[in-house]
Every structure is written in structure tokens, then in C-alpha cells.
Amino acid sequence: MNVMAKAEKKISSAFIYFFGSFGGILFGYDIGVMTGALPFLQADWHLENAASLVGWITSAVMFGVIFGGALAGQLSDKFGRRKMILMSAIVFMVFSVLSGVSPDMGETSAYYLIIVRMLLGLAVGAASALVPAYMSEMAPASARGRLSGLNQTMIVSGMLLSYVVDFLLKDLPGEWAWRLMLGLAAVPALILFLGVLRLPESPRFLLRKGDEAQARRVLTYIRKNPAEIDQELASIKETAKEERQANSKTSWSTLFSSKYRYLVIAGVGVAAFQQFQGANAIFYYIPLIVQKATGQAASSNLMWPIVQGVILVIGSLVYMWIADKFNRRTLLMVGGAVMGLSFILPAIINWMMPNMNPMTIVVFLCIYVAFYSFTWAPLTWVLVGEIFPLAIRGRASGLASSFNWIGSWLVGLIFPIMTASMPQEAVFAIFGVICILGVIFVKTCVPETRGHTLEEIEEQGTNRGRVKASNPEN
């Protein structure tokens, strides 16, 4: 035991936070990798006119994510955050390799790849749920905001990494290019697995299992002040007690009681709007978008995803700088308005000037990505983490996450089908209208959470419920 403790004490807090958030790399890589792989896959399997199959292959991961996050949350309460992250890394490695070695059997191959990517999505969903939970339980309260930003930076860095890998492999023979792009996702999964092997379990999980001595030992790795450790242990115990009491008194119907309905609609609505605004249409299909706009082969347009990835990484850093300087609602409304105009203006310009430079739409998409990267992308999860009272937090957060993943899956699925049946300027204009509706929703339905305690936010919901109850016609 003493030898183990000495070995564990060599783990630095920087190492813990880095590999604790490294799961975001996996999530980001798999969001982005199909962007470059899809043009080669389409050509290799002759899927150029199979819009629905292309949509399913691309969005299959997100379909799996819908279930992976919920499943991992349940299992991590039983087996621990660390063990489930390790298991997710193994599943990710296995199904990444199986994606890369997909058999070439005509249309049957497409169905094989769809199923494999759905199973891969279970690991992606688990990582996306477990990593923020682990980080929040390991980080000191004063650093949780910055470390939340670190997780977002890891995700977009994973996307950028996948775009760079796609670009470097684009000159290989078509069949080898897409297979390696998908298969190499196993490499960051292996790095995550090896890193997490050295990570300790979270103190909160250890306390739930009654191992206070080990929980205290873990806290000594990441806290310097013994008094702070004692205070945090007491706080974790009290919070766990409150959560047990809250969970025993609530059900799904509680979410829609007059006291909480306002806050649930606000949090779930923001999570849903984030995806239905169409961001993933750009992240998944930018080479095909450029191909349709310019006539150039999609496989020769793999520099554009790198541009988008760089914008996303810069935007995540900008968010970390401005996060606590502006109100959440202000950033969401400004970001949503610019995003909406970035989608709608190309359709208007194309209608007024039919000979518009086809690259105009790509320039506007870059503007969209820039504003999305430091507003709706990170702030959605900040707001969801702040807006739900303790009594309903678990169920409401899960509901918000489910709506978000469903939106991500549907956008990835229907975008190629929509662009096959109408001009893509019109498709983006539809997403632009959804962005504007999101702005209206934030203005009318979402409370400000910056600078407010959870109790103050809950009081807003209670007051709104009283007003609705006394004025039922409203």
C-alpha cells in the first residue's frame, strides 16, 4: 500500500487535468474525421447519388452517442469514472479499427460501416459524458470554469487534428485514404488509455463507496492546503447527502411542475437549438459544400476543414478569455444573430446577384464558425451546468444532453438529403432562420445565470411559476 501511495504521489495535477480532459480529443477527432474521409469513401463505394446512405454513415456515430452518454452515466456510478473512461477507450480503439477494415461488398459495406460507427458512438458518448464529470469532480471550485474551457479546447483540437490527418493522407489511393483516416482514430484512444491507467479515481466516487482514506489521498495530489482538503471532503459528503434526498423526492413529472418548468424549458431549449442551428452540417460536409459551390472535387478541398478547425481552436481560447466578462444571454444572442445572418445573407445575395462568386458562401460559413466557436459551442454546456436546481439536475441535464445529441444526429442525417433536393443556399437559409428563432428563445425564455447562485436561479423559476399560475391565460 505504501509503495502504491508513493507511486501515485508522483502524479502531478497537470498530468491529471491533461489526461482527464484528453477524452475530448477522441470526441473531436471522430466529429471531424468523416469530413475528409467521406469524399474518398463516396468515390470508392460509388455512393455519389446515395444521399440517405451518406447521411446515415456520417451521422451513425451521433446515433450511438445518444445512448452511450446515458449508459456510461449509469455504469460510472457503479464502477467509477476512471474504469469507464478506460473501457470507453478500448471500445473506441476496437471499432475505429473495424471502421478502417470495412469489407468491400457493395451496398452491404455501407450497412456494415453504419452499424460499426453506431457502436463506436457508444464510446464517443461515454467519453463526452464521463470526461466533464471526472474533471468537475477533480478540479478545485476556483478552476472549474477554466477547466471547462480546457475540455472545449480539447474537443476542437481533436477536430483540427482529424482535419490535418485527412489533409496529409489525401494523396494516397482512394481506398487507403479513407480507411487510414478512420482507423487512425485508434491512436488517440490508445494514448488516452495509457494516460488514464495512471490517473486516480475521483474523490467523490471513492467517498460514495466508503473509501474516505483513498479519497483524502487523491485530494492530496491536487490540493495543497490540508484545511482545504478537510473542507472539501465535508462538502462532498454534504452534497452527496442532498442529492440522495433530492433524487428520492423527484420523478420525471417533477421537471414539468410549475416550479421547475421554466428552467427545464430554458436549459433543454438552448441545448436543442445549439445543434438544430446547423453547425455539424459544416463540420461534417465542408468539402462537399465547397464542391457543390465551386465544382471542384471535394477531395481537393481538404484545406477548408483545417481553416474551420483553426477558427474553432482560436474561438475556444477567446471564450476562455471573455467567459466571465459578458453575460451568458448577451453572448448567445449576439452569436446567434451573426450566425443566422451568415446563413441567410448568401441566399439573399444569390437571389439578387445570380452570378455571385461561389466562394461567398464559404466566407460566410467561416464567419458562422467563428461566432459559434466562442458563443453557442461552449456556453450551451456552461448554462446547462448552471441553470438546473439540485433537485432536478440529474434528470434535466440528461434530458438536455439527449435533445442535443438527437439534434446532432438529425442534422448529420438530413443535410445531404436536403442539399440533394434543393439549392444549398436555401438549406443554409433554413438553418439561419432557426438561429434567429434561437435568439428570440434566449431573449424570452432563458434567465441570466452569470453571477447568480443556484438558489437565485431557482428562485427565478419559482417566481415565474407563480406568475403563470396566477395568470393561466398567459
Is residue 180 packed enough to be buried (19+ CB in 10 Å), middle (13-18) or exposed (0-12)? Answer: middle
- Crossing angle of the two packed helices 279-294 and 23-45, in degrees rounded to 10: 30
Q: What CATH fold (topology level) applies to the domain 250-474?
A: Growth Hormone; Chain: A; (1.20.1250)
Cell matching residue 321: 478569455
> In terms of residues, how long is the chain?
474
CATH of domain 11-199: 1.20.1250.20
- Crossing angle of the two packed helices 81-100 and 107-138, in degrees rounded to 10: 160
Residue found under cell 470526461: 131
Please, where are the H alpha helices in 422-453?
424-445
User: 10 Å Cβ neighbour count for 146?
Assistant: 13
Per-residue burial over 3-24, b if 16 or more Cβ lie within 10 Å, else e, is: eeeeebeebebeebbebbbbbb
Cell matching residue 381: 454546456
CA distance 121 to 48: 24
CA distance 450 to 323: 9
According to DSSP, residue 387 is labeled: H
Q: Could you tell me the CA-to-CA distances from 69 to 51, 87, 402 in Å, in that order?
A: 28, 13, 9
Please, where are the H alpha helices in 10-106?
13-21, 23-45, 51-79, 81-100
Contacts of 62 (CB under 8 A, 6+ apart): 121, 280, 405, 408, 409, 412
Residue range(s) of every CATH 1.20.1250.20 domain in the chain:
11-199, 250-474
CA distance 45 to 60: 17
Cell matching residue 187: 491512436
Per-residue pLDDT of the chain (474 residues; tens, 9 = 90+): 443 344 345 577 778 878 878 888 888 898 889 999 999 998 899 888 889 999 999 999 999 988 887 787 778 878 888 898 899 999 999 999 999 999 987 678 899 999 999 999 999 888 877 877 787 777 776 665 566 667 778 889 999 999 999 999 988 887 899 999 999 999 999 999 999 998 888 888 888 888 888 888 888 887 777 777 888 788 877 777 766 666 666 677 778 877 788 889 999 999 999 999 999 999 999 888 888 877 777 777 888 899 999 999 999 889 888 877 888 899 999 999 999 999 999 989 988 887 878 788 889 999 999 999 999 998 888 888 778 876 777 678 878 888 988 999 999 999 999 998 998 889 999 999 999 999 999 999 998 877 766 667 767 666 665 555 455 444
Query: Amino acid identity of 206?
Result: L
Q: Could you tell me the CA-to-CA distances from 187 to 24, 45, 160, 162, 318 in Å, in that order?
A: 14, 26, 15, 11, 29
According to DSSP, residue 201 is labeled: P
Is 0.85 topped by the overall pTM? no
Q: Do 341 and 432 touch, CB atoms closer than 8 A? A: yes
User: 10 Å Cβ neighbour count for 327?
Assistant: 12
